[in-house]
């Protein structure tokens, strides 16, 4: 009996040793993502089984089948890099499969996304499109929950979310001569990992726009205005647009298209009316698409006005560049028959009073003309205003009484002039019509004596003055002069 029980126990333990414990093997794909611009793909997984694994990928020639591209015998390996994927050319589909049990140990099928772009330099846009594998024999198990497009603009990264119903997006305001890189990140439904598409790169090569355009000068030349602009040396553009407005902050209208490869652009506005109007100008560079890239600061002509009161001429002008820069204003005067003379210089000042009565020995009649030359601080260039003039008519002042009592006050009778007469004759008559004084010198006064040298008595006398101006104009004056002795 004992020996029978021992046999039964031995058989029981043998059965225990022969029967394997049962457990569930799982094979889960974790991520499929394009690694670089060469289209290498990294696939990772989790597996708790003992079978060798195979990496399957869709065929290059046709997308309707998956083929084995790699066998994994070291089960401690949890990822594989497919350097022959060419995922920069087309989207790819992957799966991980048990080498011996393909029915039960077959991972999800997961696609990569293939990203392409087009660049429109005229619209300053980069358009992106993306697609994935489409096959009638198999379908991707993972479904996209969200697309995120990333833009690397010269090292500055920004991102935008795109609905999964879309497969294209346009980035606006693309800069010239800038390196751009884009990639699509896909967030999957029910997955804790994300996948990246192939990156695409574009250097937006365009002829270089000038770093700056400086408005240098606006000089009046008769009825025209001459304009000058400095262009930055780095410019590779040759098209420029000249704009004009009737106010600093007003609407600017294009008045000229200029083609030049020089670093200095000079042009003339033949419709400026600079004697009466201030015109404002800007110059903008334009690329091959006609898009404007760099705009100059604003410049305008200097409008000078002159008003006269007796012998004081008052000059006023508008500030250069609307007063936004430091400038020196040099005022020049021109009188008939003489060259322009610098009379004043001011820093950041726009009014001057010219007292011409202080001009000793000069004719104070005729035309007095002025213009202003502006020097902007830090620049050797100048801008000249219009020439503004006032005309002073010949003036003769004759007193109507004097007191020749030799007290040093009002002892002489002598006409005063705003000019130096070229011919002069002054006669004084008594009440009987006799000439008691005559002179042919404008500097010789009547001191109240008659032809014998005696002081004339108190009373009213008649004067007759005949003169000729430097321009040949004859002036006759006749009137009364009263003599009295206080």
In this structure, the answer to whether residues 281 and 325 fall within a common structural domain is no
Terminal Cα distance for the chain, rounded: 182
In this structure, the answer to whether residues 292 and 324 fall within a common structural domain is no
Residue 11 inside a domain? The answer is no
Residue 10 inside a domain? The answer is no
In this structure, the answer to whether residues 90 and 171 fall within a common structural domain is yes
In this structure, the answer to whether residues 266 and 326 fall within a common structural domain is no
Domain span holding position 250: 213-300
Residue at a domain's end among 251, 274, 300: 300
Residue 5 inside a domain? The answer is no
User: For residue 218, what are the β-bridge partners?
Assistant: 227
- Parallel/antiparallel/unpaired status of strands 435-439 and 388-392: unpaired
167 contacts: CB under 8 Å, gap ≥ 6: 129, 130, 131
In this structure, the answer to whether residues 167 and 39 fall within a common structural domain is yes
Instruction: Output the average pLDDT for the chain.
Output: 89
47 contacts: CB under 8 Å, gap ≥ 6: 25, 26, 27, 28, 53, 75, 78, 96
Using 50, 70 and 90 to split pLDDT, how confident is the model at 22? very low
Q: Are 467 and 475 in contact (CB under 8 A)?
A: yes
Residue at a domain's end among 392, 413, 441: 392
In 48-80, which positions are buried (b, 16+ CB within 10 angstroms) versus exposed (e)?
ebebebbbbbbeeeebeebeebeebeeeeeeeb
Give the tens place of pLDDT for each residue, 128-176.
Answer: 999 998 877 777 889 999 999 999 999 999 999 999 999 999 999 998 8
Give the tens place of pLDDT for each residue, 81-99.
Answer: 999 999 999 999 999 999 8
8 pLDDT higher than 80 = no
Q: What's the CATH code of the domain at 107?
A: 2.60.40.10
Number of domains in the chain: 4
Q: How far apart are CA 350 and CA 469, in angstroms?
A: 35
In this structure, the answer to whether residues 152 and 110 fall within a common structural domain is yes
Report the share of the chain in percent with pLDDT over 90: 70
Q: Between 41 and 1, whose confidence is greater?
A: 41
Q: What is the pLDDT of residue 12?
A: 42
Residue at a domain's end among 185, 203, 221: 203
In this structure, the answer to whether residues 349 and 452 fall within a common structural domain is no
For 236-302, the three-class secondary structure string (H helix, E strand, C coil) is CCCEEEEEEECCCCCCCEEEEEEECCCCEEEEEECCCCCCCCCCEEEEEEECCCCCEEEECCCEECC
In this structure, the answer to whether residues 151 and 188 fall within a common structural domain is yes
In this structure, the answer to whether residues 288 and 311 fall within a common structural domain is no
In this structure, the answer to whether residues 104 and 141 fall within a common structural domain is yes
Query: 176-185, 258-267, 470-479: which has the minimum mean pLDDT?
Result: 470-479
Reported as type and span, the H/E element at residue 9 is helix 2-18
In this structure, the answer to whether residues 310 and 175 fall within a common structural domain is no
Residue 9 inside a domain? The answer is no
Q: Are 148 and 160 in contact (CB under 8 A)?
A: yes
Residue 14 inside a domain? The answer is no
408 pLDDT higher than 60 = yes
In 136-147, which positions are buried (b, 16+ CB within 10 angstroms) versus exposed (e)?
eebebebebeeb
Q: How far apart are CA 146 and CA 181, in angstroms?
A: 20
Residue 366 inside a domain? The answer is yes
Q: 3-state SS of the chain: helix, strand, coil percent to 5?
A: 5, 50, 45
Residue 21 inside a domain? The answer is no
Q: How far apart are CA 378 and CA 412, in angstroms?
A: 58
Q: What's the CATH code of the domain at 468?
A: 2.60.40
In this structure, the answer to whether residues 99 and 221 fall within a common structural domain is no
Q: What is the pLDDT of residue 222?
A: 93
Residue 237 inside a domain? The answer is yes
């Amino acid at each position: 009996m004992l020996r029978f029980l021992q046999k039964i126990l031995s058989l029981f333990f043998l059965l225990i040793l022969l029967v394997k414990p049962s457990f569930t093997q799982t094979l889960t794909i974790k991520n499929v993502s394009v690694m670089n611009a060469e289209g290498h793909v990294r696939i990772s997984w989790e597996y708790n089984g003992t079978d060798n694994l195979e990496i399957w990928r869709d065929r290059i020639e046709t997308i309707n089948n998956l083929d084995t591209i790699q066998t994994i015998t070291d089960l401690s390996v949890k990822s594989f890099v497919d350097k022959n994927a060419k995922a920069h050319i087309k989207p790819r589909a992957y799966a991980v499969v048990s080498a011996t049990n393909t029915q039960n140990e077959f991972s999800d099928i997961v696609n990569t996304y293939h990203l392409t772009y087009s660049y429109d330099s005229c619209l300053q846009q980069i358009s992106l499109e993306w697609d994935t594998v489409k096959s009638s024999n198999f379908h991707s198990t993972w479904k996209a929950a969200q697309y995120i497009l990333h833009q690397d603009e010269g090292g500055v990264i920004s991102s935008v979310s795109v609905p999964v119903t879309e497969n294209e997006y346009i980035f606006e305001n693309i800069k010239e001569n800038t390196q751009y890189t884009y990639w699509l990140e896909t967030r999957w439904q029910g997955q804790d990992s994300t996948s990246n598409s192939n990156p695409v790169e574009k250097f937006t090569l365009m002829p270089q726009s000038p770093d700056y355009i400086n408005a240098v000068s606006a000089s009046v030349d008769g009825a025209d205005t001459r304009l000058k602009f400095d262009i930055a040396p780095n410019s590779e553009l040759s098209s420029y647009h000249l704009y004009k407005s009737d106010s600093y902050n007003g609407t600017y209208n294009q008045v000229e298209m200029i083609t030049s490869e020089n670093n200095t652009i000079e042009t003339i506005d033949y419709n400026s009316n600079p004697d009466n109007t201030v015109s404002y100008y800007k110059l903008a560079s334009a690329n091959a698409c006609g898009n404007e890239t760099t705009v100059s600061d604003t410049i305008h002509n200097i409008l000078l006005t002159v008003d006269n009161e007796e012998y004081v001429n008052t000059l006023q002008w508008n500030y250069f560049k609307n007063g936004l820069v430091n400038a020196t204003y040099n005022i020049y005067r021109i009188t008939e028959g003489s060259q322009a003379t610098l009379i004043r210089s001011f820093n950041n000042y726009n009014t001057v009073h010219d007292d011409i009565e202080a001009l000793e020995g000069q004719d104070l009649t005729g035309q007095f003309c002025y213009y202003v030359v502006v020097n902007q601080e830090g620049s050797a260039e100048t801008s000249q205003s219009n020439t503004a003039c006032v005309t002073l008519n010949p003036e003769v002042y004759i007193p109507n009484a004097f007191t020749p009592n030799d007290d040093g006050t009002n002892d002489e009778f002598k006409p005063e002039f705003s000019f130096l007469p070229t011919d002069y004759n002054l006669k004084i008559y008594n009440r009987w019509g006799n000439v008691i004084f005559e002179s042919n010198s404008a500097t010789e006064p009547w001191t109240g004596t008659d032809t014998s040298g005696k002081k004339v008595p108190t009373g009213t006398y008649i004067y007759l003055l005949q003169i000729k101006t430097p321009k040949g104009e004859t002036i006759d004056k006749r009137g009364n002069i009263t003599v009295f002795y206080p």
